[in-house]
Amino acid sequence: MNYITKILALNKQARILFVENTNLIHEVCSNQNTNRLLKTLLARTVSCASSLTGLLKDNHRISLRISASKRDYKVYADVDAEGNVRGFISDELLNAHGEGISPFTVEQIIGDKGCIQLTNDIGMNSIITGITDMPYRNIVDDISHYYAQSEQTPTWISTYIVFNEQDQIELSRAVLVQLLPGSPITLQHQIRRRITDHKALFFDATNKEIMKQLPFTLFDDAELLENKPIQLFCGCSKEMFYSMLYGLGKEEISNAYISGSTIEFACNVCGNKYLYHPEELKNLL
Ligand SMILES: [Zn+2]
């Protein structure tokens, strides 16, 4: 359903990843009760992050953090080599959607002091973090900018996101182009042009397999490296919500126990619900 098709093309000089993640991004955005602007921020961040899973091996994980000029407005995404993807918006930004930020564009929210932090955890306690500014203020080009600045690997990502009239994700796809060492940088422009010229095909919602076919339509010498499934995976558990339960205070927990009611928490990353029944609340007290 969600997958990456990874190819080598143009005399094996470029690695190109075609990503179908409509269901994943739809789900990520549906789990957070928010508006189109915040869903766009989340969808772009998580879609870019999901395409990065195609570059990971073994225990390698990447955490991406987008911070807007207003520093507590943040969007997070985490991915690993198994194709597990998750993403969420900071509480401050989620709460801001009632504060009249709706008319803003993504560029206005990011502002002139936005920054990207990318943490590479390659296992064996080896963690590398890089930070760059966001000159494009649109997240997607800023992530490409991050790779040029911090990792010195020419990388270009493009996302294709469509909302329906109810502000739900109707289509989400992405493409990632990375040149192999020694390839001329002009090659990237050539690949970008070819992808941009065929942009309409990325928006073909009727064909769910198109991201498996497109690589071979666009590049004559495309060589399939892998087809890899990707999926939303949060990793939350009931134990993780105990701190929120304690946060309610003794009186509220005791009231719930006395009245025989169940306390419920929903994870705002994956939508899972965790219930604490009166018997558990009694043990806690
Ligand atoms: Zn969760």
pLDDT at 8: 97
Burial tier of 85 (Cβ tally within 10 Å: 0-12, 13-18, 19+): buried
Nearest to 144 by CA among 112, 116, 108: 116
> Concatenated DSSP letters for 153-184?
--EEEEEEEEE-TTS-EEEEEEEEEEEPTT--
Distance 213 CA to ligand 1 centre (A): 33
Query: Angle CA(5)–CA(57)–CA(19) in degrees, nearest 5?
Result: 20
Predicted TM-score (pTM) above 0.75? yes
Distance 271 CA to ligand 1 centre (A): 6
Phi and psi torsions of 30, nearest 5°:
-75, -25
Distance 239 CA to ligand 1 centre (A): 12
Distance 176 CA to ligand 1 centre (A): 27
pLDDT tens, 101-120?
A: 778 899 999 999 999 999 99
Would you say how long the chain is, in residues? 285
pLDDT band at 98 (very low <50, low <70, confident <90, very high): low
Q: What is the C-alpha separation between 270 and 256, in angstroms, rounded?
A: 26
Distance 234 CA to ligand 1 centre (A): 5
Q: What is the C-alpha separation between 212 and 193, in angstroms, rounded?
A: 20
pLDDT band at 243 (very low <50, low <70, confident <90, very high): confident
Q: Which residues touch 218 (CB under 8 Å, ≥6 apart)?
A: 194, 195, 198
Percent of the chain past pLDDT 70, that is, above it, reads: 99
pLDDT at 217: 95
Residue 57: how many CB atoms within 10 A of its CB? 8
What sections of 69-149 are H helices per DSSP?
A: 91-95, 106-110, 140-146
pLDDT tens, 188-228?
A: 999 999 999 999 999 999 999 999 999 999 999 999 999 99
Distance 79 CA to ligand 1 centre (A): 14
Distance 168 CA to ligand 1 centre (A): 20
Query: Angle CA(244)–CA(47)–CA(132) in degrees, nearest 5?
Result: 85
Instruction: Give the CA distances from residue 103 to residues 98, 100, 116, 163, in Å, rounded to whole numbers and listed in that order.
Output: 11, 7, 24, 17
Q: Which residues touch 39 (CB under 8 Å, ≥6 apart)?
A: 29, 32, 163, 167, 169
Q: Parallel, antiparallel, or unpaired for β 61-67 and 115-121? A: antiparallel
